[in-house]
Structure 1
Amino acid sequence: MLITDVFETIKAAGKWFDLSKAHRGGERQTPYVARTGENNGLGAILPDQGFDAPNPGKAITIGVSTSTVFYQPVSFYTSKEIQVLRHAELSAVNGPILVTILREQMSKFQWGNGASLERLKATRIMVPVMTDADDAQRVDWAGLTRLGEELFDAAVAKSHVVRRADLGEDLLPDLNFEPMFVVDVPGRQGGLFRAHKGRRLITAHRKRGNMPFVAGSRGNNSIVDFADVPALFPAGWLTLIYNGDGGTGHAKYQPAPFSASDDVIVLEPITGEASEEALLLIVSMLTHQCVPKFGFGYKLTLHRLGRQKILVPVTTNSSGEQVVDWVGMRLYGRVLRARAERPMSAVLGAIP
């Protein structure tokens, strides 16, 4: 169905301004939607700009040059080149479904061929439909909403499963930091991980499936697709971007078996003591210590990673040797996780 038959209005966002000219003093309360692909498209949360946010919520935004699509539940400011799609039936329940459907069509819009109003209005998307009394097909908004409710309930239920109900710790343990090699090289140096490379698989050869496909993207845990490919690596390993969209040096923890492109270095923990909590800390340490150093023109190759040291918590073992403090990191990670999950529990508890 044509997008113009799905949405009542498709317009450019009103009263846009450059973020560099925004007033920053005061309480931050209003989203500023930009053309970023992260954080629901938000470039910032801004204080009052001397005028009400000109774009009401309950809308879908599309970045013209970046083809980024998000649902905006509340009123917002915008940068330039943001399209706004609206319908009276659009809601926080069915909106994310339409966002997913629209993203399927965004691959045809690229730099120099952006998602202009003219191109959007000529685009067709697959949506649930129903036939009215005049034998005309209309969007089945009620069906979309029921589907959204089912998916939302399933997501909330899964969030309860992954949270740790027994997290009661609140005091962070003291940790001592020393530089350690990232990569373990037998006979030469001790390190935290064994390094592996992903496998090249171009988009044209990648079919849709259920396997997380990790590539050189710093967003969405570096998962760019779910593909019909076998798992190359098990759950509980880290990925480190070697080459990507400004994400070189970004590390991610992968909680499920996955496949990875050749833009990714995969890190296998050398010890079974490397718990999920500890590895999540290592992810932050790697990212903060590698991102400033590596980038376009100085890529994070396996050779360079082999020489790289990062500061990590250490302790002394029974032989008097300095070793990685995996237990300390596990405890530290548990406290941080508990602090993060408490406000999440409050939000989920308020959902009827």
Structure 2
Amino acid sequence: MSVLNGVRLTSEDMTYGNIPFIGATDKNNGITNWTNNTNASTDKNVLGINYNGSVGEVFYHPYTATFSDDVKRLRLKSSTSANKEIYLFIKTLLLQQKNKYTYGYKFNGTRMKAQKIMLPVMTQGSPNWDYMEQYIVNLMKNVNLPTVEPIKASTVDLNSVKWKEFEIEHLFDRISSVKGKTIDSYQSGTMPYITTSASNNGLTGYVSADKNVTTPRNVITIDPIKGKTFYHVYEFVGRGGAGSAINVLESKYLNKKIGLFIMTMIESNSFLKASYGTQLNGKRLRRQKIMLPVTTDNSPNWQFMEEYIKSISNSRLI
């Protein structure tokens, strides 16, 4: 396979549009933003594999997308074999190697080229592409996919409003850290317990705890190590501690839809900057800049954010 680099694209240089921007995340098929920018990394029908962020995570991209410099592109050298089924087969084999790589031992281009995977072969030793393709075809025949309503096409144009850069400290009424202890410090209860887990909205259990360690509802949380954000419509206890404690953003303007819009903007930057060595908290978090749509007086256009999320969602999603 050919190993191709992504291209660095800062938030300052990015224009928002309809092209998926692929970043170093483990969610949403690698899509961390939508852009109009194209460059040498713009590609399709490739695997995207994370060099930074969620190191070693792999996604298949049949559509045209622009790739961050934290993501490498893997393209089969044989164009006749480069179809969806074969890429999905190889993706699974690459994911089996994921645990070998971390922030300190990154899956860089040199290691990717040297990485070995097991493939079915023909009698003469060449890869058996037909077998791989048919295996995935047969596998998908036995998968019962859920039936859902299609997502509505957006009727709100991101380019119809003016955008402005804001520091996070100027957007929120309060920025704080959670105060909870480890989950073993509490008895079982009904209060959600939130950690830096990247799945299930950070929820890892339910505890019984005093009000003085409880975080209020309708807030955004940020993991300072991975930059992952979640919106919480409920009160919860968050695991505190040292500098890696979850950060909490509170604002009188927040609701779930506005929160989801802002979370996307925060994550588009935080995945590039947060790590064990550079934690996203304190002054670094407060001075983190994000782009938001604004009104004629250059204040955040909360109504537009809410209407945009409404326009791209249906009742089963939000």
- TM-score w.r.t. the length of structure 2 is 0.52
Q: Which residue of 2 aligns with 1:27?
A: 84
Decide whether aligned partners of structure 1 residues 234 and 293 sit closer, same or farther in structure 2, where only a CA change above 3 A counts: same
Give, in whole Å, the separation in 1 of the partners of 2:181 and 2:267: 25
In 1, the alpha carbon distance for the partners of 2:138 and 2:187 equals 38
Task: Output aligned runs, 1:25-64, within 5 Å.
Answer: 25-28=82-85, 32=92, 34=95, 49-50=132-133, 52=135
2:172 alignment partner, one of 189, 192, 197 = 192
Asked if the contact 1:26–1:48 (Cα under 8 Å) also holds between the matched residues in 2, the reply is: no
Contact 2:152 2:313 in 1 (8 A): no
Deviation per residue, 1:141-195 (Å, 9 max, x gap): xxxxxxxxxxxxxxx9xx9xxx9xxx98840142322111111xxxxxx333410
Aligned to 1:264: 246
SS of the residue aligned with 1:291? helix
Any gaps of 5 or more consecutive residues in structure 2?
Answer: 1-57, 59-72, 100-129
* Contact 1:182 1:309 survives alignment (8 Å): yes
Give 4+ residue runs of structure 1 displaced > 6 Å after superposition. Answer: 19-24, 54-57
2:257 maps to 277
Q: Give the one of 271, 284, 300 matched to 1:324.
A: 300
Q: CA deviation at 1:266?
A: 0.6
Q: Which amino acid is 2:302 matched to?
A: W
CA deviation profile, 1:14-36 (whole Å, cap 9, x unmatched)? xxxxx899968213477948568
Partner amino acid for 1:26? N
Deviations 1:195-234 (A, max 9, x none): 0111241233233322211111222112222222246122
Assess if the C-alpha contact under 8 Å between 1:181 and 1:192 holds in 2: no
Q: Does 1:172 align with 2:159?
A: no
CA, structure 1 residues 48+199, in 2 after alignment: closer, same or farther (shift >3 Å)? farther
> What are the Cα deviations for residues 111-132 of structure 1, in whole angstroms up to 9, with x where unaligned?
xxxxxxxxxxxxxxxxxxxxxx
Name the residue aligned to 1:101.
none
Which residue number in structure 1 is paired with residue 9 of structure 2?
Answer: none
Match of 1:287 in 2: 267
Contact in 2 for aligned 1:265/1:302 (Cα 8 Å): no
Q: Residue 48 of structure 1: CA displacement?
A: 7.0
Tell me which amino acid in the other structure corresponds to 1:331: E
**Shift of residue 332 of structure 1?**
0.5
Query: Which secondary structure does the structure 1 equivalent of 2:299 belong to?
Result: strand
* Aligned-residue offset at 1:252: 0.9
Identify if the C-alpha distance between structure 1 residues 50 and 337 changes in structure 2 by more than 3 Å, giving closer, same or farther. closer
Distance 2:215 2:131 in 1: 48
> 1:137-286 to 2 correspondence within 5 Å?
170-173=154-157, 174-183=160-169, 190-230=170-210, 232-243=214-225, 247=226, 249-262=227-240, 263-269=245-251, 271=252, 273-286=253-266
Separation in 1, partners of 2:176, 2:308 = 28
In the other structure, the counterpart of 1:313 is 293
- One-letter amino acid of the counterpart of residue 194, structure 2: V
Q: Normalised by the size of structure 1, how large is the TM-score? A: 0.47
Question: Using the alignment, how far apart are the partners of 2:313 and 2:192 within structure 1?
Answer: 24
RMSD: 4.2
Q: How does 1:121-140 map to 2 (within 5 A)?
A: none
Would the alpha carbon gap of residues 53 and 170 (structure 1) be closer, same or farther in structure 2, given more than 3 Å must change? Answer: closer
Tell me if structure 1 keeps the 8 A contact 2:223–2:229: yes
In the alignment, is the contact (CA less than 8 A) between 2:178 and 2:215 conserved in 1?
Answer: no
Aligned to 1:124: none
Distance 1:204 1:264 in 2: 18
What is aligned with 2:10?
Answer: none
Q: Does residue 306 of structure 2 align to residue 297 of structure 1?
A: no
Q: After superposition, what is the alpha-carbon deviation per residue over 1:252-299, rounded to whole angstroms, capped at 9, x for unaligned?
A: 111211111122001101x3x333211111011111111201211111
Amino acid at match of 2:156: L
**Alignment partner of 1:335 out of 307, 311, 317:** 311
Inter-CA distance 309–50: structure 2 relative to 1 (3 Å threshold): closer
The count of corresponding residues between Structure 1 and Structure 2 is 200
**Greater relative contact order (Cα 8 A, min sep 6): structure 1 or 2?**
2
The separation in 2 between residues aligned to 1:226 and 1:293, in whole angstroms, is 31
- The question of whether the paired residues in 2 share the 8 Å contact of 1:212 and 1:226 is answered with yes
Residue in 2 that maps onto 1:70: none
SS for the counterpart of 2:273 is coil
